[in-house]
Structure 1
Amino acid sequence: MGINDEKDIEANIQIGPTDLGMVRIFVEGAGIEIPMDFDPSEADEIAEELKAAALAARAVKGR
């Protein structure tokens, strides 16, 4: 499965701080739970990548 392959799967995502000072991205769906913990600097990098992807997606949609 690649980034452009569409799937009919529903999932929920939660993002928040943990009591250990990490940032957790928690994905839940179809009988699976995926907790991913990142230190704050890694979370900042992920946030920057998300913003860059959103900008690129807007450019594609605007064609």
Structure 2
Amino acid sequence: MGINSERDVEANMQIGPTDKGMVRIFVESGSTEIPMDFDPEEAEEIAEEIKAAARAARAVG
């Protein structure tokens, strides 16, 4: 499965700070839970990557 492979899967995503000063992206789909913790600098880099992808998607669409 790649970035352009479509799937009909339902998932929930939550993003927020942890009590340890990290940023957590928590993805849940069915019985699968994926917690991903990032330091604030990494989280800001991820946010920039998401913004860049959104700009590129707008250019395509």
* TM-score (norm. length: structure 2): 0.98
User: Aligned to 2:4, what secondary structure does the other structure show?
Assistant: coil
Instruction: Report the alpha carbon displacement of residue 31 of structure 1 after superposing the two structures with TM.
Output: 1.2
After TM superposition, the structure 1 = structure 2 runs for residues 13-52 of structure 1, keeping only pairs within 5 Å, are 13-52=13-52
Residue deviations 1:3-62 (CA, integer Å, cap 9, x gap): 00000100000000000000000000121000000000000000000000000000000x
* TM-score (norm. length: structure 1): 0.95
Could you list the structure 1 runs, at least 4 aligned residues long, displaced by more than 2 angstroms after superposition: none
RMSD between superposed Cα atoms in Å: 0.4
The number of residues matched between the two structures is: 61
Q: Which amino acid aligns with 1:9?
A: V
* Stretches of structure 2 lacking an aligned partner (at least 5 in a row): none
After TM superposition, the structure 1 = structure 2 runs for residues 3-14 of structure 1, keeping only pairs within 5 Å, are 3-14=3-14
CA contact 1:9–1:30 (8 Å) conserved in 2: no
